[in-house]
């Protein structure tokens, strides 16, 4: 799994857990729905940390909580 896939999967997981729509997350995070869709559907494969922080704010979690998953802990180095 690469970093982009881990971010996308984590967003999907959090949307499902909180039963939030993309529109609701956009309203809560001040991130445009199109930006969220671009991350989820692969048009934006390198979302910035500020965007991820804003999405975390919309979910009501910290960056640490976002990244504290087995998927992120087990990521291999991107550049070898």
pLDDT in tens, 23-32: 999 999 999 9
- CATH for 8: 1.10.260.40
- Within-domain flag for 14: yes
Residue 16 has pLDDT above 80, yes or no: yes
Lookup: tokens for 80: 């070898």
pLDDT in tens, 46-71: 999 999 999 999 999 999 999 999 99
- Within-domain flag for 77: no
- Within-domain flag for 8: yes
Can you give the pLDDT at residue 79? Answer: 78
pTM for the full predicted model: 0.91
Can you give the pLDDT at residue 25? Answer: 98
- Within-domain flag for 66: yes
Rounded to whole angstroms, how far apart are CA atoms 66 and 80?
25
């Amino acid at each position: 799994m690469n970093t982009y896939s881990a971010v996308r999967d984590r967003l999907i997981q959090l949307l499902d857990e909180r039963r939030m729509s993309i529109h609701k997350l956009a309203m809560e995070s001040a991130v445009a729905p199109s930006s969220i869709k671009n991350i989820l559907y692969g048009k934006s494969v390198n979302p910035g940390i500020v965007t991820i922080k804003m999405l975390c704010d919309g979910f009501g979690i910290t960056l640490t909580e976002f990244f504290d998953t087995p998927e992120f802990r087990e990521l291999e180095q991107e550049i070898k």
